[in-house]
Amino acid sequence: MAAFLGCKKTDLDTRILQPGTKCTIYAGVFNPGDKQPAQPVVVNSLYNPGDNGLLLYNVTDSNGVVWVIPDNDLNVVK
């Protein structure tokens, strides 16, 4: 029987969005006047940011522009 030492509940709460998932970006993420993705966006793939633990996604906005957006800024459209 394997033991999961050091496993925390927060580790289990991580979601992985599948390619094709449609999302909106939460309000207030971008500064007013800054270039922003046209919503909704569609997940292309998980972006590998390195060892910082932050999940980022390559997404394509409704104008066909690709963006890298943090997981916490994405709201899945149901």
Q: What is the pLDDT of residues 21-72, one digit of tens each?
A: 999 999 999 998 999 999 999 999 998 777 677 889 999 999 999 999 999 9
pLDDT, residue 53, reads 74
User: Residue 10: inside a domain, yes or no?
Assistant: no
- The single-letter DSSP state of residue 12 is H
Residue entry with tokens 């046209």: 38
Please, what is the Cα angle at 67 between 36 and 58, to 5 degrees? 145
pLDDT, residue 13, reads 59
Could you tell me where the beta strands, DSSP code E, fall in the chain? 22-25, 41-47, 56-60, 66-70, 74-76
User: Residue 68: inside a domain, yes or no?
Assistant: yes
Q: Is the model more confident about 40 or about 14? A: 40
Using the predicted structure, report yes or no on whether residue 2 has a pLDDT greater than 80: no
User: Residue 50: inside a domain, yes or no?
Assistant: yes
Q: Is the model more confident about 20 or about 11? A: 20
User: Residue 9: inside a domain, yes or no?
Assistant: no
**Could you give the CA distance from residue 44 to residue 69 in angstroms, rounded to a whole number?**
11
- The single-letter DSSP state of residue 17 is P
Domain range for residue 53? 22-29+36-76
Number of domains in the chain: 1
User: Residue 3: inside a domain, yes or no?
Assistant: no
User: Residue 15: inside a domain, yes or no?
Assistant: no
